């Protein structure tokens, strides 16, 4: 059976130790979150190490995330597998993970404990709450199929280079930085991702900037590196850029078509219906004077 722990710790950042115990670490705050300890060895040894290295814990343990968190709220409770319903029955509906409006509506129906909710047939809950009725029915019985996510360490993309000599002048450092930013931007674009933070390490120097809006390609990363990192960057024998706070890139119009071979037949059908002049390509549109100046400036500044 799964063994899920929800805990909080006085330690400011306990996640590095947690990641040594299990790959399934899901922070829910600065110093609290879920661990899936299933198959990680004897719980006694894991528990002693947690207590020793990150201090006294407030915790809850159960076979799923929902019950583990409720056990935490009740104060250091371990719920054996199969006893979830009995554990939840006397507790208030306020402990269930549903919006306050739903809980209020349940109380207006005369239901105040989780056990009272569990006594309501699924058909009646479905009639009253629609699709949410099944979720209420399962939650009242301690059923939760959500998994602990492997959310720590957070995903990142890294590009790193090292050299046998220091850059002889500032232009050489600029060239190294922009080349690395271009490589990192190409990896972001290939993975259809954006990064909200950019971290640079030059030997022992560490710099980090927040990107607003998030960067999703070579050009935007090069601009951020040139204007915000280069002025503070010291020359070194190694240079590393790391993209953090990754999120999916916003969808674009051509994302509707996975590859050019799929796009070509669509274009052909449109041209057959509307004629060869029925479609205009963006590249054929005349840019404004401001846009032309910006393009020329960027091409000159960030040319390889």
Which tens digits make up the pLDDT trace of 91-136? 999 999 999 999 999 999 999 999 999 999 999 999 999 999 999 9
Distances (CA, A) of 47 to 54, 61, 104: 11, 12, 38
Domains in the chain (CATH in brackets) are 4-140 (3.30.70.270), 157-248 (3.30.1490.100), 258-301 (no CATH)
Average pLDDT on 13-33 reads 89
Average pLDDT on 52-61 reads 90
Under the banding of pLDDT at 50, 70 and 90, the label for residue 16 is confident
Answer whether 34's CB lies under 8 Å from 5's CB.
yes
Tell me the C-alpha distance between 38 and 81, whole Å.
Answer: 13
pTM for the whole structure: 0.63
Which residue, 237, 288, 247, is CA-closest to 154? Answer: 247
* Phi and psi torsions of 262, nearest 5°: -80, -25
Which residue, 145, 151, 143, is CA-closest to 22? Answer: 151
Helix (H) / strand (E) element for 61: namely strand 58-62
Pull the structure tokens for residue 168.
């002889």
pLDDT at residue number 298 = 53
| Interstrand relation of 58-62 and 77-78 (parallel, antiparallel or unpaired) | parallel
Which tens digits make up the pLDDT trace of 226-263? 999 999 999 999 999 999 988 888 655 555 545 556 67
Which has the minimum average pLDDT: 177-191, 245-259, 270-284? 245-259
Pull the structure tokens for residue 51.
């207590």
Mean pLDDT, the chain, whole residue set: 87
Which residue, 43, 35, 48, is CA-closest to 8? Answer: 35
Alpha helices, DSSP H, located in 109-216? 114-118, 122-129, 132-140, 170-190
Identify the three-state secondary structure at position 143. Answer: coil
Helix axis angle, 132-140 relative to 122-129, nearest 10°? 140
Tell me the C-alpha distance between 121 and 133, whole Å.
Answer: 10
Which tens digits make up the pLDDT trace of 130-177? 999 999 999 999 999 999 998 888 888 999 999 999 988 889 999 999
Kindly state the percentage of the chain with pLDDT values over 90.
57
Average pLDDT on 197-206 reads 92
The distance of Cα 77 from the centroid of its chain, to the nearest Å, equals: 29
Identify the three-state secondary structure at position 8. Answer: strand
């Amino acid at each position: 059976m799964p063994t899920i722990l929800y805990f909080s710790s006085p330690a400011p950042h306990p996640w590095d130790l947690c990641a040594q115990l299990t790959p399934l670490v899901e922070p829910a705050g600065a110093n609290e979150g879920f661990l899936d300890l299933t198959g990680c060895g004897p719980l006694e040894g894991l528990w002693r190490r947690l207590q020793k290295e990150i201090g006294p814990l407030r915790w809850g343990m159960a076979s799923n995330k929902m019950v583990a968190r409720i056990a935490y709220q009740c104060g250091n409770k371990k719920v054996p597998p199969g006893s979830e319903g009995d554990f939840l029955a006397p507790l208030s509906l306020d402990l269930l993970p549903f919006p306050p409006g739903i809980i209020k509506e349940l109380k207006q129906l005369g239901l105040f404990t989780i056990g009272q909710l569990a006594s309501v047939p699924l058909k009646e809950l479905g009639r009253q709450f629609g699709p949410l009725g099944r979720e209420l029915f399962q939650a009242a019985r301690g059923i939760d199929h959500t998994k602990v996510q492997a959310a720590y360490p957070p995903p990142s993309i890294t590009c790193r280079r090292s050299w046998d000599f220091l850059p002889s002048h500032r232009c050489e450092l600029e060239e190294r930085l922009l080349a690395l930013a271009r490589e990192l931007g190409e990896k972001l674009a290939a993975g259809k991702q954006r990064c909200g933070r950019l971290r640079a390490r030059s030997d022992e120097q560490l710099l980090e900037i927040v990107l607003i809006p998030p960067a999703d390609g070579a050009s935007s990363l090069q601009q951020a590196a040139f204007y915000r990192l280069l002025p503070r960057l010291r020359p070194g024998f190694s240079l590393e850029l790391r993209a953090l706070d990754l999120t999916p890139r916003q969808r674009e119009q051509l994302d509707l078509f996975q590859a050019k071979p799929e796009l070509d037949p669509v274009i052909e059908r449109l041209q057959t219906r509307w004629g060869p002049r029925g479609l205009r390509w963006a590249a054929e549109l005349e840019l404004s004077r401001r846009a032309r100046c910006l393009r020329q400036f960027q091409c000159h500044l960030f040319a390889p």
